[in-house]
A = this chain, B = another copy of it.
Amino acid sequence: MNSDLEITPAEWQVMRVVWSLRQTTSSQIIEILQQKVEWKPATIKTLLRRLVDKEALSATRQGRGFIYEPLVPEQQTMDQAADNLFNNICERHVGSTLEHVINNATLSKDDIASLQKLLASKVANSPDNVKCNCIPHMQMKC
């Protein structure tokens, strides 16, 4: 389906509000976002329009305005964004980058338990070291 959805940082702010409220109006989004960022209402309307254009949100007419709702699931969108990032970086360094992220993240006990379980399940089939994939046909240490 719609697997190639690109959400810009500014648009993420809007999406997060809509995902949180599940269903909302432009004025509510504007009111909420103005507590977080210094954007004029017109700016937020532009972002809303672009998100509707790229089919990240639906807009259903309701009287004067629209009701906005997410057309893409939050987790899936985050996973995709993470994939894009980790595709840019060297495979050899994914582990250390994850370490950095985990170090700075707030994780719940359940999150930690899940990750521990996942890691434990991966260890058996894990290589002794990961090869750098920065340069084709050549093993670099980068």
Contact = CB atoms under 8 A, between A and B. Distances in A.
Interface residues of A, number: 65
Interface string A97-113: 11111111111111110
A107 B102 CA distance: 15
Contacts of A3: none
* Candidate in A105, A128, A132 with the most chain B CB atoms within 10 angstroms: A105
Interface string A5-18: 00001001000110
A33 to B, nearest CB: 9
A128 B106 CA distance: 11
Contact of A98 (B9, B20, B35, B102): B102
User: Copy number in this complex?
Assistant: 2
A90 interface: yes
A86 to B, nearest CB: 6
A19 B108 contact: no
Contacts of A61: none
A4 interface: no
Closest CB pairs A-B (n = 3): A95-B111, A16-B134, A20-B140
Given A21-B140, A81-B89, 15 more contacts: A21-B135, A32-B136, A75-B93, A78-B97, A79-B97, A91-B106, A98-B98, A98-B101, A98-B102, A108-B128, A109-B126, A111-B130, A112-B126, A116-B116, A116-B120
